[in-house]
Chains A and B, each alone.
Chain A
Amino acid sequence: MRVMHALIFAFLLVLPVAAAWAISDPAEMLKDPRQEARAEAIGRQLRCLVCQNESIEDSQADLARDLRQVVRQHVAAGEKDQQIIAWMVARYGNFVRLRPPFEPLTWVLWASPVLALVGGALVVAFAMRQKRPPPQPLSAAEKRKLGDLLKS
């Protein structure tokens, strides 16, 4: 029984690793582990055009597999990361990059954290300025009236 538990535990430990392996067919990997690591790093920056929210490294789509192959061919040919990404952008536009570049079209996108902060600061400043002054102390007549009310 104890052995059985140990086996199940060992299986559970291996499970996530096996799941990660299941994604890429070993046949499509490069022989040189350093080149393969580079290819994977590049692939993770590239969007699968079919699934759109997955990188080509994560996607099971046919096109993603083809693009993984292309990346590996270019890595094996000794191209730089930038060259390979530029190759993809030439065909699929900047949409293929999961991390959008800083360009006029994306200025608002990249500036949005700062814009949100400035907007929030403006709202807070406006709210502070609008704060009403503390009420005037009661006049003698009001004090007398309050006393009468509390008494009755």
Chain B
Amino acid sequence: MSGARPARVLPRRLLLALPLVAAAAGGLGFYALLRRMEAGRYDPHGVDNPLVGHAIPTFAALPAQAPATTGFGAADLRAAGRPVLVNFFASWCVPCRIEHPQLMALARAGVPLWGIAYKDHEAAAEALLAEEGNPYHQLARDESGRVSIDWGIYGVPETFLIDRAGIVRGHWAGPLSADLVASEVRPMLGKYA
């Protein structure tokens, strides 16, 4: 009888340690989560875009956004002949201004960046680009926001990477940070170049 006791005590002690282990695992999990949020790699409000891995939605050419002279449509994107970043932005959107230096840096590096002004006044968007610089190779305007809904846009800025076959390869909701550009956008651009 007494010989059986120690064998029973050990699992009990382990059971007592279980809540501590669970708390420690939870703490580690939260720490990892917060680190990823800090670096901009995880957004708890982010919505996965079902377009990734699929062809871009078809849309008729959108009107031009000044200072560009022509707008563009899905056919123009498919005919670009190289991977393109499509950026949805608006002059009324504060995170877009935060993101703007990253877009300028991408443009300086020769990355083709196509912009769609989402629910914006043409003059206001033009003023933003005159003030902060224009990183876009092509510019169009989605005043009603309907084409943007077809892209699954739920807030600006959002950025997509389209490969040369017109397939959506990457999607980032929210402002691109320097960290995000270095860790995700650049490697993907290299992969699909």
Contact = CB atoms under 8 A, between A and B. Distances in A.
Interface string A77-117: 00000000000011111010000000000000000000000
Interface string B97-127: 0000000000000000000000100000000
Contacts of A50: 154-155
B17 interface: no
Given A49-B154, A50-B155, A63-B154, A95 B48 contact: yes
B152 A92 contact: yes
Nearest to B154: A49
B50 A91 contact: yes
Given A49-B47, A49-B154, A93-B50, A70 B119 contact: no
Nearest to A49: B154
Interface in B154-187: 154-155
B5 interface: no
A66 B49 contact: no
A89 B49 CA distance: 10
B50 A90 contact: yes
B149 interface: yes
A62 B47 CA distance: 17
A66 B47 contact: no
Interface of A: 49-50, 52, 62-63, 66-67, 70, 89-93, 95
Interface of B: 45, 47-50, 119, 144-146, 149-152, 154-155
25 contacts: A49-B47, A49-B154, A50-B155, A52-B45, A62-B145, A63-B145, A63-B149, A66-B144, A66-B145, A66-B149, A70-B146, A70-B149, A91-B50, A91-B149, A91-B150, A91-B151, A92-B47, A92-B152, A93-B47, A93-B48, A93-B49, A93-B50, A93-B152, A95-B47, A95-B48
